[in-house]
């Protein structure tokens, strides 16, 4: 069973109000997800988009996650192994930012076989553009609901 996930995060101010959007596609079935946070960063929203989509899966899958976040792709394919070996300290000997989200992604990676793919953002990639729309709509909804 192969699932395609497309995800994107956005932030109005960094830090500021943030939103994320994801699309899950399995064959001809498509599901859109989104969420928001009142005080966050763009990187946290990028990660939250992937987490939200992966947590929506109900059984182990082969997954291709496509994102415009090099932070997310490099974090999951290059950096995370070194962070774990060094006790969650980065190459500058500082604590890794967003550790709790990286740990959630690492746990989800044990449940699924994930391929991480980077695409250039805002470059006409249909699903990436739609995820950006979902993320920005989540920001707008958050602001309306919070009275801001």
Annotated binding residues for Mg(2+), written as ranges, equal 8, 46, 68, 132
Q: Of 86, 83, 65, which Cα lies nearest the Cα of 75?
A: 83
Active site residue 68: yes
Active site residue 46: yes
Given a contact cutoff of 8 angstroms between Cβ atoms, the answer to whether 8 and 21 are in contact is: yes
Query: Measuring CA to CA, how many Å separate 25 from each of 43, 57, 81, 100?
Result: 23, 11, 29, 27
Active site residue 9: yes
Helices 42-55/99-111 angle, 10° precision: 30
Among 62, 78, 122, 145, the one annotated catalytic: 122
Q: Of 126, 127, 97, 116, which Cα lies nearest the Cα of 14?
A: 97
Among 19, 21, 46, 127, the one annotated catalytic: 46
Active site residue 21: no
Strand partners, 5: 24, 65
Among 18, 21, 68, 127, the one annotated catalytic: 68
Q: In angstroms, how far apart are the furthest CA atoms of the chain? A: 46
Catalytic residues: 8-9, 46, 68, 122, 132
């Amino acid at each position: 069973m192969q699932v395609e996930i497309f995800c994107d995060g956005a932030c109005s101010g960094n830090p500021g109000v943030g939103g994320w959007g994801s699309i899950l596609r399995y064959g001809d079935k498509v599901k859109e997800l989104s969420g928001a946070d009142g005080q966050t960063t763009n990187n946290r929203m990028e990660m939250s988009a992937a987490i939200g989509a992966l947590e929506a899966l109900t059984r182990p899958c082969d997954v291709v996650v496509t994102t415009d976040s090099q932070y997310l792709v490099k974090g999951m394919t290059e950096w995370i192994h070194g962070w774990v070996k060094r006790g969650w300290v980065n190459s500058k000997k500082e604590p890794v930012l967003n550790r709790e989200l990286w740990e959630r992604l690492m746990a989800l990676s044990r449940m699924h076989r994930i391929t991480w793919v980077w695409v250039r953002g805002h470059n006409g990639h249909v699903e990436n553009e739609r995820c950006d729309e979902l993320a920005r709509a989540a920001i707008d909804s958050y602001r309306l609901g919070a009275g801001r």
